[in-house]
Amino acid sequence: MTQDLFSAAAQKIVDDYLRISPDERFFIITDRRRGFVYKLSKACFDAAEKKKIKTRLVVQKRTSYGPADPTVIRLFSNIKKNDCVFICLEEKLGNFYRKFQKGFRSIMRQQGARFATMTGLRSLTSRNENHFLKAIIIGSEEVRDNGKKLKELLDNAKKIELVGKSGTSITADIDGRKAWFNSGEFFRSGTGGNLPSGNVDIFPLEGSVTGKIVIDHSVKIEAETIVLKKPIEFILENGEIVQINGEQDIVQSLYNDLNNFSFINHRAGFDPRAIFRISGLSLGLLPLQPIGLNLMDERLLGIAAVSNGNSWGKGGRNKCRGHRDHLFWLDHVKIDGEKFSVNKLGSL
């Protein structure tokens, strides 16, 4: 059954999300020669080969941060218009700044290439592989119209308020900011996004997020999703995390992750505080159950995400080497004062 799901998910990526034709090139990047990421990468390779698409599978070195693998850098040095890239990694891609002075997404947009990504899959367990594959197969078919309606609401709004089940209550100024809906429609030149699809992101004006954030689902530390037994609280000042409260080991790991990126930003000439800044809010719309992996769970109806770090190139102005998403259970949202329950979000 699982192998059939790998094949079906690969077919969905090749034929629906990216819509690759035989006259286009397809590059697949993974970081293991076994396990889930390799099985899905190989299934995509096989699906493309059957369509006689010129396809290359690259196994990069595993990395959580720092420069990209030289083999991958050489690949992107030769990316052309209408090329397609699928990135499926347990860890991260690595950065391109030393070579290109810009990130992966900027390179793809500039060259007119297309992409689909899923990274940080280290926390995906074997018992949840089928659920994850089914989320890819379902994609955004059930939520595409709903997501576009929510995006339009946010595009025209000035304020947003998120209230969580465990005490989160934050407001943010979004006047003039455009939302981004991960619809899975990555078949136009220069487009791409994360898989599974099905979430709507909005990037508030920098420094405008106020209130209390109580993370009660999971936090992201390096490439790993940590599912929480007890909530973690972020204390904010001027839209930045100034204090973290909760289980000591997790709090210390969060601080270590933040301080590491702060050092990297300082060395790169960026604001060291940029990684502490709340940069994005996300609302999930897929009607599925969580599996304890942020990449999927932040797409799910009833879960919201708050991110710190980079928003540049996504709709915000916070330039940062690093980005982290942390998830909490949502009670309701207010958009310019109008209340939307979770059920209402699921049926706009």
Closest CA to 206 of 181, 182, 235, 177: 177
- The domains of the chain are located at 2-119, 144-345
Instruction: Tell me the DSSP string of 183-203.
Output: -S---STT-EEESS--EEEE-
Closest CA to 143 of 14, 287, 11, 302: 287
HSE value, Cβ hemisphere, 13 Å, CA-based, for 2: 11
Q: 120 and 93 in contact (C-beta within 8 Å)? A: no
pLDDT at site 65: 75
pLDDT at site 193: 92
Q: 57 and 24 in contact (C-beta within 8 Å)? A: no
What's 2-119's CATH class?
alpha beta
Going from the C-alpha of 246 to that of each of 74, 232, 281, the distances in angstroms are: 43, 5, 22
Q: 278 and 241 in contact (C-beta within 8 Å)? A: yes
pLDDT at site 100: 59
Closest CA to 279 of 253, 243, 305, 300: 305
Residue 158 neighbours by CB under 8 Å, 6+ apart: 173, 174, 175, 336
Q: What is the Cα–Cα distance from 35 to 126, expressed in whole angstroms?
A: 9
3: number of Cβ within 10 Å: 9
Most distant CA atoms of the chain, gap in Å: 55
Mutual angle of helices 2-12 and 129-138, in 10-degree steps? 30
Q: 6 and 43 in contact (C-beta within 8 Å)? A: yes
Per-residue pLDDT tens for 41-95? 999 999 999 999 999 999 999 988 788 889 998 998 899 999 999 999 999 888 8
Q: 307 and 279 in contact (C-beta within 8 Å)? A: yes
Going from the C-alpha of 162 to that of each of 129, 173, 220, 281, 331, the distances in angstroms are: 31, 12, 20, 9, 8
pLDDT at site 159: 98
Handedness of CA 190, 16, 147, 200 (dihedral sign): negative
φ, ψ (nearest 5 deg) of residue 29: -120, 125
3-class SS at 52? coil
List the chain residues with pLDDT less than 50.
none
pLDDT at site 165: 97
Q: 53 and 85 in contact (C-beta within 8 Å)? A: no
Q: How far from the centroid of its chain's Cα atoms is residue 213's Cα? A: 20
Start-to-end CA distance of the chain, whole Å, equals 35
pLDDT at site 106: 84
φ, ψ (nearest 5 deg) of residue 12: -65, -45
Q: 143 and 285 in contact (C-beta within 8 Å)? A: yes
pTM of structure: 0.85
Mutual angle of helices 35-50 and 2-12, in 10-degree steps? 60
